[in-house]
Amino acid sequence: MTATPEVSAPQHVVANPALGTWMSVADGSVVVQVGKVELGQGILTALAQIAADALELPVTAVRMRAAHTADGPDEGLTAGSLSVLQAGPALRHVGAVVRALTGGPGGDLSSYVARIAGLDPATDLRAVTPAAPARASAVGRSEARLDLPDKVLGRPRYLADLRPEGLRHGRVLRPAVPGATLADLAHVDLPGVKVVRDGSFVGVVGPRESDVDTALARLAAAATWSDGSSLPDEDDLSAWLRSGPHEEIAVLDEGGPVTPTHHASYSKPFLAHASIAPSCAMARWTTGQTGDRLHVWSHSQGIHALRDAITSALGLGEGVVTVEHVENAGCYGHNAADDAAFDAVLLARATPGSPVLTRWSRSDELTWGPLSPPMTATLGADLVGGRIRGWSHDVWSLGHTSRPGYAGAPGLLAAGHRADPSPVPPPTDPPLAAGGGTTRNSVPIYAVGPRRVTGHRRTMTPLRTSAMRALGAYLNVFAIESFMDELALSAGADPVAFRLAHLDDPRAAHVVRRAADLGGWGRPLPDDTGRGIGFARYKDKGAWCAVVAEVAVDHEVRVRRLTVVADLGLVVNPDGARNQLEGGATQATSWTTTERVRFDRRRITSDDWETYPILGFAAAPLVSVELVDSAAPSVGAGEAAQGPTAAAIANAVHHALGVRVRDLPLNADAVVRAIESTE
Amino acid sequence: MTPTTRLCVNGETVDVAASEDTPLLTVLRDELGLVGSRFGCGQGLCGACFVLLDGVAVPSCQTPVSQASASSGVVTVEGLPEGGTPHPVQAALLEGQAAQCGFCISGIVVRAAALLSTNPAPSADEVAEALEHNLCRCGVQRRIIDAVVSAGSAR
C-alpha cells in the first residue's frame, strides 16, 4: 500500500502522479516529458531550464521529449499564456522529489543520472516529501532556444518532414463553399491514387505527392456541390453581430450608467491565423490480433482532447488512439491542426498499415480553418470633474472556441462532412473563470466608479470561429484604451496622466509610466506623426503590459516604433520573453493595420497571401521591450501585447491627425473615412 | 514510366524520377530528402521554399524541375554551410535568436545569402527590401533584419 498522500503537490502533478510520466533516462540524458507543446514560442526551452534547476543539473544534461498521450502527462491545452504557470510548478516538484529520492547530484554527473535511472517509474509523486527548492541557476538566464539550430540549418524538424517507410501522401477536397454538401462526384480515372469518399468527405491517397495533387484537381472538377450557406454582409458585420440570437454573458453589474454622457463603438473584422505552414498531420491505422490501433502525429494544441475527439467521432474503444505532438509552423490559437489530424485519420483508415501524411492547401488553410471572430463593443462613461464616474461596456461577438470536445461534440471539420455526420457545433466561449472569450478583458482595470459589463455572444454563424491569440481581449482592450484616450481628451487631460489618475494598482502604474518615459512621451515629433499609448493586464490576472506606438500617416499608416514594457513576474528566459512580446506586438500591428478576412455572400474570397496580406519586412516596426525586474510568480508573455498595441496605434493616429478610427483594420482607407466623417 | 531528370543540387549531380513539370520543391523534399526547403503556399508568395538557382533566390514550388535541370545548379538551405560551418546568415540568426517557429527561416536564409553575395554589407532598409517576398507570421521581422545586417558587416 502506498502511504496516503501528505504532500501538497501542484495541480498537474496531482493529475499525473507517476514519476515515469514526467521523467526517464535514455542515452545518459535525463528525458523530461511535459504535456505542453512547442508552438514556436520557445516553451520547451523555458521548461528545460526549470527542469534542469529543479534537478540541479545543467540544461545540457536534460532532453525535452514532445508531448505524447500514451506515456506523457496530460496538461490540457497549450494556450492562454499558462504553460510556465502550470508546467513550471509541476517540474519543480518532480525535480525536488527526484533529488529527495536520489540524494541529489553528489558525485559526478553520470552517477547522478544513473541513480535517477534507477528510480521506479511508478513512484507516486504525491507521496514523497520533496527536497528543499533548488537555487535558480538556468532560470533567469537567456538560454538559447533548443529547437532553433534544426530550424535555422534546415534540418528535418516539422511534421511535414516525417518520412517513415511506406509513406503515403493524402489530400482532402473541401466543399466549394461553406455549408455545401456533395451532390455528385463524376467518375474520373485516377491512376496511382486511391479515392476515399464518405458522404461529402472526399480525399485521395497515394505514394507520390504530385499524383495526389493532380488527382485532387481532377476530383474538384468532377464534383458538384449544393448551394451552401448565406454569408453576412462583410461591410455590416457590427449590425449582424448585434442582431442575434444571443447568449447573454453577465460579467459585472454595479449599477453602471444606462444613459452615459460619453459613448463610442469599436469593431474588428474576422481575422485568419495565417500560419506560414498549412496544417498537416500523419496517421497510421493498423489492424492486428489485439485489435485496431491508430497512431496520430499532430501539431494540435491539445493532443489529449484530440485523441478523445477522434475516439468519439469514430466510436472507438479506449486505448485505441495515440496522439503525439510534432512541431509545425507557428500556432496562435485553435487553427486547423485538429481538423487536419482527423482528415489524416479518415484517409489512413482506408489504407491500413500505411502512414498517411495529409497536408492542407494554402487556400483551405485561409478559408476552412477556424477564424478569429468579428467583434463590436459599445462603451459608455460619465465624467465628473475630470474623473470617470460610472462605466458601461457591451460587447458582441461570435464564440471564441470551437476546440475539439468543447461543446460535447468531436468538433472536427471532416466529422461534419461524413455520411453519418457529427456536425461541428456553434462556437462558444471558455468559462469566465478561465478568462472568458467574448468578454476577456472587458472589465476596465481603472477606478471608474460603478461598472456594468455585458457580453452578447451571437450563437449562429455560417463561418466557424475559435480561439486566436488573446481572444476577446484584443478588441476589448482596443476599445477600452481607445475610449480612455477619448475621455482624456474630453476631460482636457494628458492620456498618460489621465490613466495614472485612475490606476490604483502600482504594478500597472509602473509599466504605464515606464512605457511613457521610454517611448518619449511628450517629446516633439515630425509632422503627420503621432504617439499613442495602450495598456492592459491580460485576463485581469496575467501580465501587465503597456505599449507606446509612434505612427506616421501619409498615404498609408506606418507604425514606426513600438515601446513595450511588461511585468511578467519572475522571467524564466528573458530573451525568450522579449521575443514573444516583440512578436506579439508586431503581429498585432499586422492585425490592426493590414488584416481582414474578405468574403462575398457565398464564400471567403481572401484565400491566398495576395488577398489576405500580412505585414511585410519593410513595414515591420522597430520594437523595444523592457521587462520589469521581479521575483513575483511568473505569468505568461505570449498574449499580453495584442490589445495594448492595437490601442496604442489608434491613439497615435488620433494624435497625428486628430481623427479617431474605431473600426479595424486601421489602414489608409479607414483614415480617409474617419476624416470624411468629421468634415 | 516516370522519366528521369538530371540536375545539380548542392554541388552534386543527381538523377530523379520526375516528369519535367514536377515542382522542384516536390523533388527536393520527396525524392532527394532535402526537406529544409519548406512548403508554405505552393504559389510562390511566401518565400518558405526559396532556393538559389544560378545564384538567384527563386520559389522552388513554382520552379519546374526542367528549369532546374537546365540551370547550372540548385543550392538549398542545406547546401549553404561550408565545411560544416553554418553560413554567416545562419550563424547570425542563431546568435540573435532571430526566429520563433522558424518555418519561414530556410527561405529567409537563402534570400539573405543571395543578397550578401551581391551586397556584402547591406543596410537594414536594403535587407528589408530584399526580404519583401518572404513572410514571417510570428513577428520576428526586426530581429531577422538585424541579424542579416550583422552577418553582412561581420564579414
- Partners of residue A614 in chain B, C-beta under 8 Å: 135, 137
Q: What is the mean pLDDT of residues A278-295?
A: 95
- Partners of residue B151 in chain A, C-beta under 8 Å: none
Most B-contacting residue of A617, A622, A623, A642 (CB-CB within 10 A), to test interface: A617
Which of A161, A210, A576 has its CB closest to that of B22?
A210
Is residue A130 within 8 A of residue B2, CB to CB? The reply is no
pLDDT tens figures, A81-98: 899 999 999 999 999 999
Domains along chain A? 11-152 (3.30.365.10), 161-226+274-368 (3.30.365.10), 238-271+372-400+436-678 (3.30.365.10)
Return the pLDDT at A341.
98
> Which backbone phi and psi does A20 adopt, to 5 degrees?
-65, -20
3-state helix, strand, coil in chain A (%, to 5): 30, 25, 45
Return the pLDDT at B149.
98
Which of B29, B43, B132 has its CB closest to that of A618?
B132
Answer whether residue A312 shows pLDDT above 50.
yes
Three-state DSSP at A468 gives strand
Return the pLDDT at A679.
76
Which of B36, B104, B141 has its CB closest to that of A586?
B141
Q: What is the mean pLDDT of residues A261-286?
A: 98
- Burial of A503-522, coded b for 16+ CB within 10 Å and e otherwise, reads beeebbbbbbbbbbebbebe
Q: What is the mean pLDDT of residues B93-97?
A: 98
pLDDT band at A1 (very low <50, low <70, confident <90, very high): very low
Return the pLDDT at B2.
74
Return the pLDDT at A2.
46
Return the pLDDT at A343.
98
Answer whether residue A572 shows pLDDT above 60.
yes
Which of A154, A330, A586 has its CB closest to that of B101?
A330
Q: What is the mean pLDDT of residues A287-313?
A: 96
Give chain A's mean pLDDT: 96
Is residue A229 within 8 A of residue A601, CB to CB? The reply is no
For chain B, give every domain's residue range: 4-79, 88-153
pLDDT tens figures, A235-253: 999 999 999 899 999 999 9
Answer whether residue A5 shows pLDDT above 70.
no
Return the pLDDT at B3.
83
Answer whether residue A665 shows pLDDT above 50.
yes
Q: What is the mean pLDDT of residues A316-330?
A: 97
Most A-contacting residue of B66, B100, B131 (CB-CB within 10 A), to test interface: B100
- Percent share of chain B, pLDDT over 70: 98
- Partners of residue A158 in chain B, C-beta under 8 Å: 35, 38, 103
Residues 6+ apart with CB under 8 A from A559: A549, A550, A551, A589, A593, A619, A621, A649, A652
Domain B88-153 fold is DNA polymerase; domain 1 (1.10.150)
Return the pLDDT at A80.
87
Peptide bond connecting A260 to the previous residue in cis, omega within 30 degrees of 0: no
Query: How far is residue B58's CA from residue B60's CA, in Å, rounded to a whole number?
Result: 6
DSSP string, A174-243: --SSTT--EEEE-----TT-EEEEETTEEEEEES-HHHHHHHHHHHHHHEEE---PPPPPTT-HHHHHHT
pLDDT tens figures, A184-231: 999 999 988 999 999 999 999 999 999 999 999 999 999 999 999 999
Answer whether residue A4 shows pLDDT above 90.
no
Cell (9 digits) for A527: 509632422
CB–CB contact A154 B76 (8 Å)? yes
CATH (residue range B4-79): 3.10.20.30
Answer whether residue A527 shows pLDDT above 50.
yes
CB–CB contact B103 A330 (8 Å)? yes
pLDDT band at A409 (very low <50, low <70, confident <90, very high): very high
